[in-house]
Chain A
Amino acid sequence: MNRLSISNLRVSIAEQEIIRGLSLAVPKGEVHAIMGPNGSGKSTLAKVLAGHPDYKVTMGEVLMDGEDILGLAPDERARKGLFLAFQYPSEIPGVTIANFLRAAVQARLPEGEELEATDYYARLYEKMDLLEMDRSFTSRSVNEGFSGGEKKRNEILQLAMLEPKYAVLDETDSGLDIDALKVVANGVNSMRGPNRGILVITHYQRLLDYIVPDHVHVMVQGRIVRSGGKELALELEEKGYEGYDEVKDEVSEPAMV
């Protein structure tokens, strides 16, 4: 029950199958990493979990604490406790981070309950300090004119504020220099705990030096082809994905995203 469970998932976009029978379970209290070459369907998986309307699930199920979430709208999934840190977060011109997050936090309160502004700001500032974000960030428009690193920090800030049950981090390390990477990893690590499952999607092992996973999965051509402990990431770092070419060959019609 206490897990994000994906079974035999198949997903297509524009008649092209990208996820081809993927199964994976992320229990609460654990950090799982999915690694894989470009085009293996990692980011598609993240978007499908969050309910992106462009993708069509043709088979399989996704259960969050036992509840099937595939029939739910993206915002319903979010309010039930699923969070996606985007690889390419959207800009929302004219909407400040403070207002955006406030609306998001408010959306999680029971009807008729108003968010207490002072508590909210106290919590927001605390999380921003953790992520070494300047207070002036609160009055900037969401992601507008942000550097790559600022965008990623902003994603983790939202993760910290929304306290989801399950968090999916899509290529959170891309575009980060090493200092920023440490700060972001620190933020994610502070979110680890028995009541939260985290799925880290990454192309490089680098991030996993700082966010040390409990399990590592290798994804190729829309499937998990191998699972192991954290040492698997190191092996991949050393040998690359070349060894998985054979697996690739087994799957017909390679689908590139």
Chain B
Amino acid sequence: MVKEVSPLEIERNVGNFAYPETHTHDAGVGLTEKTIHYISDIKEDPDWVREFRLNAYKTFLSKPMPTHWASKDLEAIVFDNIRYYLSAGTQPKRNWEDVPDDVKRTFERLGIPEQERKFLAGVEAQFDSEAVYSNIKKAVGEQGVIFVGSAEGLKNHPEIFRKWFGKVIPTGDNKFSALNSAVFSGGSFIYVPPGVKVKHPLQAYFRINAENFGQFERTLIICDEGSELTYMEGCTAPKFNTATLHSAVVELVALKGAKLQYITVQNWSANVFNLVTKRGIAHEDAEVKWIDCNIGSRLTMKYPGVIMKGRRARGEVLSIALAGDGQHQDTGAKMVHAADETTSNIISKSISIGKGRATYRGLVHIPKHLKNCKNNTECDALLINSTSRTDTYPAITVRGTGNSVQHEASVSQVSAEQIFYMQQRGLTEAQAMSLSVNGFVNDLVRQFPMEYSVELKRLIELEMEGSVG
């Protein structure tokens, strides 16, 4: 588990690798109506999608930056320097043999074990804006589950896609959801038919592999009545010198009695702006659960939300944020109770290293006319160095009678005595730190599927190794 390694050497190599890129389509730099048309032409969008994009573009231009509540750092994004569409020109592939070698090498470099790669029966890995590889487990397809790229989804399944697309997160929700709506490409579309319980989690690995390239995936998942699904998304990005923008939109719909769990482990390089809008709607007796791990990036702003629309609906957000030196993780959760007897749970853990900054921002809304709604919020922050920073901004609005809210927050610091104790047992300072941090997040990580908890622990170890000494 813990190996003797030269800390700095390892740290520099995290995510810092890229293979020669061969892009057959490139929309060039900057964003105009022409760019939108270019993307729509390449993707052979139906007219309604082209129109949707153009309208979103106008909304994007008219919306202000959300700097008023987070960080001035967003002003550093130069929209004119970003490439909004890039494609390797490859079609989604189903067999492992068809996957290009450099993609395989990246899998290898990310440390995904051989056996696990084979187990990736339900994996779709996305390179740049198109799905390069997708191998849907046969059984899942036989159950009637649709698991395709969003482009394929809107073309081949318009009757489902169009009904829900943009309904959970309207284009004008914020500037970045508008931007995504204008230029989206890639991402997944999943539909699970009524009563179908998908046994194995569906996975997707995402990766940015082009400098100056903003990645704008769009994911839409619909779990029909009584169905169950776990979806896993993992990201690592290579390091580049200039800022990279990642702005995804993820919409989840859990119809009556459905259970939908969405898991993300992200490890962005330190120059990435990660500005993502994620929201789910839970109908009667349905459950939407977000498990969200944010590691790396220059600035992450992400507040997965659940709108509990039907009676007894449940919403949950479990999140872990690791803010390395110079990074800002501005994360949290939004819970909107919109029916009686709805319950929500938020558990947030953040770790700040060096001059890293972790911010928790939570919104819990229970309006006056509702009865017997419950929310539980816990946020714990761990500070590694004396220069580390954490802030908590809970916004809790609870009205009406019979609704209950519980909020707990804690801030702790890794103590020198604790580190000394572990060093006395033979662990290096970095190993001791990473073990402490892993311990801090352990009770949350335990709820993750095995392979993800292993990967997350490894990412934390790599992060911590560069943080001391």
Contact of B427 with A104 in the complex, beta carbons under 8 Å: yes
CB < 8 Å neighbour of B418 from A91, A103, A108: A91
Contacts of B429 in A (CB 8 A): 73, 75
Q: A94 — which chain B residues lie within 8 A by C-beta?
A: 438-443
The distance from the CB of B453 to the nearest CB of chain A, in whole angstroms, is 12
Q: Are A89 and B426 in contact (CB under 8 A)?
A: no
Tell me whether chain A's interface is mostly helix, strand or loop, or mixed: mixed
A90-B415 contact given A73-B423, A75-B427, A104-B426, CB 8 Å threshold: yes
**Is B1 touching A92 in the complex (CB atoms < 8 A)?**
no
Q: How far is the CB of B447 from chain A (nearest CB, A)?
A: 13
CB distance from A248 to the nearest CB of B (A): 30
Distance of B348 from chain A, by nearest CB (Å): 16
Instruction: Determine how close the nearest CB of chain B comes to the CB of A76; give it in whole angstroms.
Output: 9
Whether B418 and A90, one on each chain, are in contact in the complex, defined by CB atoms closer than 8 angstroms, is yes
For A227-250 the 0/1 string (1 means CB < 8 A from B) is 000000000000000000000000
A95 touches B439 (CB 8 A): yes
A206 within 8 A of B: no
Q: Is A172 an interface residue (CB 8 A)?
A: no
* B-contact bits for A157-173, CB 8 A (1 contact / 0 none): 01000100000000000
Contact of B439 among A84, A111, A141 (CB under 8 A): A141
Chain B residue at minimal CB-CB distance from A161? B425
Q: Which of A128-181 contact B (CB under 8 A)?
A: 141, 158, 162
Q: How far is the CA of A95 from the CA of B420 in the complex (A)?
A: 15
Q: Are B1 and A102 in contact (CB under 8 A)?
A: yes
Indicate whether B436 reaches chain A with its CB closer than 8 angstroms: yes
Chain B, Cβ-Cβ closest to A158: B425
Q: Are B442 and A104 in contact (CB under 8 A)?
A: no
A73 to B4, CA, bound (A): 14
Q: Across the interface, do A107 and B431 meet the contact criterion of CB distance under 8 Å? A: yes
Residue A31, interface by CB 8 Å: no
Asked if residues B426 and A53 are in contact (CB atoms below 8 Å), the reply is no
**Do B431 and A103 touch across chains, with their CB atoms under 8 A apart?**
yes
Q: Which residues of A contact B427 (CB under 8 A)?
A: 75, 103-104, 107
B428 at the interface (CB under 8 A from A): yes
* Contact of A92 with B423 in the complex, beta carbons under 8 Å: no
Instruction: Determine the interface band of chain A, counting residues with CB < 8 A from chain B.
Output: 20 to 34
| Selected contact of A50 from candidates B1, B424, B439, B441, CB within 8 Å | B424
User: In the bound complex, how far is the Cα of B429 from the Cα of A141, in angstroms?
Assistant: 19
Q: Which residues of A contact B424 (CB under 8 A)?
A: 50-51, 74-75, 78, 83-84, 86
Residues of B contacting A103 with CB < 8 Å? Answer: 1-2, 425, 427, 431, 435
Q: Does A100 sit at the interface, judged by CB under 8 A?
A: yes
B416 within 8 A of A: yes
Assess whether A89 is in contact with B421, with CB atoms less than 8 Å apart: yes
In the bound complex, how far is the Cα of B168 from the Cα of A86, in angstroms? 56
Q: A79 contacts the other chain (Cβ, under 8 Å)? A: yes
Give Cα distance in the complex from A95 to B1, angstroms.
13
Q: Is the CB of A93 within 8 A of B439?
A: yes
Residue A123 lies at the interface, judged by CB distance under 8 Å to chain B: no
Query: Do A86 and B421 touch across chains, with their CB atoms under 8 A apart?
Result: yes
Closest to A95 in B: B439
Does A106 make an interface contact (CB < 8 A)?
A: yes
A31 CA to B418 CA, complexed, in Å: 28
- Does A52 make an interface contact (CB < 8 A)? yes
B97 at the interface (CB under 8 A from A): no
Q: Which residue of A lies closest to B412 (CB)?
A: A93
* Chain B neighbourhood of A101, CB < 8 A: 425
CB-defined contacts of A162 to chain B, threshold 8 Å: 425-426
B422 interfacial by beta-carbon distance below 8 Å:
yes
19 contacts between A and B (CB under 8 A): A54-B416, A75-B424, A75-B432, A78-B425, A90-B417, A93-B439, A94-B439, A94-B442, A95-B435, A95-B436, A100-B422, A103-B2, A103-B427, A107-B425, A107-B426, A107-B427, A107-B428, A107-B431, A158-B425
Chain A residues at the B interface, C-beta cutoff of 8 Å: 50-54, 73-75, 78-79, 83-84, 86, 89-95, 99-104, 106-108, 111, 141, 158, 162
Instruction: Kindly list the 7 A-B residue pairs having the minimum CB-CB distance in the complex, ordered from nearest.
Output: A94-B439, A94-B442, A95-B439, A90-B421, A74-B423, A107-B426, A104-B425
Q: With contacts A75-B432, A91-B418 known, what are 5 further pairs, Cβ within 8 A?
A: A92-B421, A92-B435, A94-B443, A95-B442, A103-B427
